[in-house]
Amino acid sequence: MKLNTLHPLQHIYGKRTVQLLILVIFSTILINGIFFFHLIHQNKESLRKRKLNEKAMLLTRRILGNMKDAEIGERGYILTGRKKYMLPYTRAIEVVSVNQRRLTHHIKRNFNTENIADVNSMNKAIAVKCAELEKTIQLKNEHKDALILEEINSDLGENEMNRVREICNGMLKDFYQNIEKEDQKVSETLVRAKVSILFFSAIVIIGIAVMRVKLINRQKNIVDLFEELEMQNSRLIIHQQELRNLSENFSSRNSELEHFAHIISHDLRGPLNNILSLIKIMEEDGNTSVNTPPFMMLKNASSGLFHKLDDLIILLKQRKNGLLLKEKVSFPQLLDEVKVNHKIQIADSGTVISADFSESDEVPFVKVYMQSILQNLITNAIKYRDPSRVNQISLKTYKLEDTVQLVIADNGKGIDLTRYGNEIFGLFKTFHTGQDSHGIGLYLVKKQTLEMGGDITVKSETGKGTTFTIVIPS
């Protein structure tokens, strides 16, 4: 069945395209705005400095003009003696004093030390010139014409006026250069503004073009992906049908295995009952062979096998009901059963088994599972012993918070964990040559431990031995 996904896909990507374009445009406007704000701030600063220089130029020109007016008034009074020429002189002196104060305050507040030095020099020169003018007027008032003529011929007043002009012209030149410099900054700012407009416009255009191409390609890829998904969906339907068939087949085989296990467990009870009955008859008849070691081993093995079959039958019933019931399992009791069942193997190998269950001698566990775990680990330790030394197996329990740790260690051949560490609990994995190994024992140990909510770890070193640590919830 073909999925109708093309129209919704176009709608989603159309919406995303608009959102992305809005984001790009907004970002560009924001960056442009920040940049223009910076340029405007630069322009404002340049314009402010320009106005400061213009004001300084205006005041300087006024001072220079006032000094000229004062000099003209002074010369007119000296030459004519008329009081009317004193009016422009007096007015010029008053105005130049005001303009001096304004210019000095303006320069000290807004300009550098060099300009401040210039205005101080100007003030000194003006003070000297004003004193010279005042002196000649005083001589005129005292009718000392000869001294006036001598003062005028000395060119002292002209030199002082030239000094004032020189300082003022130098200051005007500096102010004019500052204005030109700020005008240049404004021009450069305008050029940068134009360049930024072109640059960000180009970015927007390129970004839109690139996004458009990418979106077209993505839309094509999504269409191809949905077509592939439709094919995968078809394959998935086929696989689901195959899984149903496999599940049905597995259920059938599982039922057959359970039936087979029931047959084995129940059919073995008959011969075992016969063996136990014969043993009992021989004991009641007082047969002399009942006290021999072989007869005792036969009796213990038969009894152990009978009890194991009973446990297997109980386990099968629990599995059938979907529940494995735990019970208090005694480590010493299970260890004794393992020793009895493998007495000949332990004796022939010279194995020494030591146990310390003082911290915890029992745990909640499925009995058959724990018996299988102990049997597999102990028989493996016997099978893979180091013939160059006495084989030793130690079992010890530790109580840690809400868990019990069972540590089983041996001094056998050991396992190369750097090579086999990831496979040690794998099914059908063997790690020693020349041994009767099937690779099932450790797999069962791990599976049974995990099924009971526990965990198992291993430490081993080639030539030194192996230590298994089983953590069991208490």
Q: Could you read off the pLDDT of 334-388 as tens digits, one per residue? A: 999 888 888 888 888 899 999 999 999 999 998 888 988 998 899 888 888 888 8
| pLDDT value for 269 | 56
| Mean pLDDT within 299-305 | 64
How much is the mean pLDDT over the chain?
A: 79
Angstrom distances, CA of residue 44 to CA of 47, 186, 412: 5, 9, 90
Q: Please classify residue 279 by burial: count the beta carbons closer than 10 Å to its beta carbon, then call 0-12 exposed, 13-18 middle and 19+ buried.
A: middle
Model pLDDT for residues 266-284, shown as the tens digit of each residue: 556 556 666 766 777 777 7
Model pLDDT for residues 148-175, shown as the tens digit of each residue: 777 777 777 788 888 888 989 998 998 8
Q: Is residue 457 part of a domain?
A: yes
CA 251 to chain centre: 48
Distance CA 393, CA 370 (A): 17
Q: Give ∠ CA 463-467-468 in degrees, rounded to 5.
A: 145
Reading the block at residue 167, the tokens are 């300082």
| Mean pLDDT within 427-451 | 68
- Residue 415 pLDDT more than 90? no
| pLDDT value for 21 | 65
Domain count, the chain: 2
Count helices and strands in the chain by DSSP H and E runs: 12, 7
Q: Side chain identity at 362, as an amino acid letter?
A: E
The verdict on 344 and 206 lying in the same domain is no
Residue at which a domain ends, from 164, 193, 222: 222
Distance CA 38, CA 28 (A): 15
The verdict on 460 and 348 lying in the same domain is yes
The verdict on 333 and 217 lying in the same domain is no
Reading the block at residue 112, the tokens are 């550098």
Q: Which of 383, 384, 335, 372 is nearest to 446 (CA)?
A: 372
| Mean pLDDT within 180-198 | 81
pLDDT band for 318, please (50, 70, 90 cuts). very low
Q: Side chain identity at 33, as an amino acid letter?
A: G
The verdict on 356 and 212 lying in the same domain is no
Q: Is residue 227 part of a domain?
A: no
pTM > 0.85: yes or no: no
Distance CA 141, CA 160 (A): 22
Report the CATH number that the domain containing residue 394 is assigned in CATH: 3.30.565.10
Distance CA 68, CA 91 (A): 12
Q: Is residue 43 part of a domain?
A: yes
**410 membership: H or E segment, kind and range:** strand 403-410
Distance CA 300, CA 320 (A): 30
441 in Cβ contact with 384 (< 8 Å)? no
Q: Which of 396, 427, 395, 433 is nearest to 413 (CA)?
A: 433
The verdict on 186 and 40 lying in the same domain is yes
CA 55 to chain centre: 59
Q: Is residue 16 part of a domain?
A: yes
Distance CA 355, CA 335 (A): 9
* DSSP string over 394-408: EEEEEEETTEEEEEE
| Mean pLDDT within 240-253 | 76
| pLDDT value for 82 | 82
The verdict on 332 and 212 lying in the same domain is no
Reading the block at residue 31, the tokens are 């960056």
Q: Is residue 202 part of a domain?
A: yes
**Residue found under tokens 């599940």:** 247
Q: Is residue 166 part of a domain?
A: yes
Residues paired with residue 363 on neighbouring β-strands, in sequence order: 329
| pLDDT value for 352 | 93
Q: How many CB atoms lie within 10 A of CB 115?
A: 19
The verdict on 151 and 12 lying in the same domain is yes
- Residue 219 pLDDT more than 60? yes
| pLDDT value for 332 | 94
Q: Which domain holds residue 442?
A: 326-473
pLDDT band for 5, please (50, 70, 90 cuts). very low
| Mean pLDDT within 65-76 | 87
pLDDT band for 396, please (50, 70, 90 cuts). very high
Share of the chain above pLDDT 90, in %: 17
End-to-end CA distance of the chain: 55
414 in Cβ contact with 396 (< 8 Å)? no
Distance CA 364, CA 374 (A): 15
pLDDT band for 226, please (50, 70, 90 cuts). confident
Residue at which a domain ends, from 195, 222, 249: 222
Helices (H), 81-154: 86-110, 113-141, 145-153
Q: Side chain identity at 132, as an amino acid letter?
A: E
Q: Is residue 27 part of a domain?
A: yes
Residue at which a domain ends, from 222, 255, 290: 222
Q: Is residue 41 part of a domain?
A: yes
Q: Which of 353, 413, 418 is nearest to 387 (CA)?
A: 413
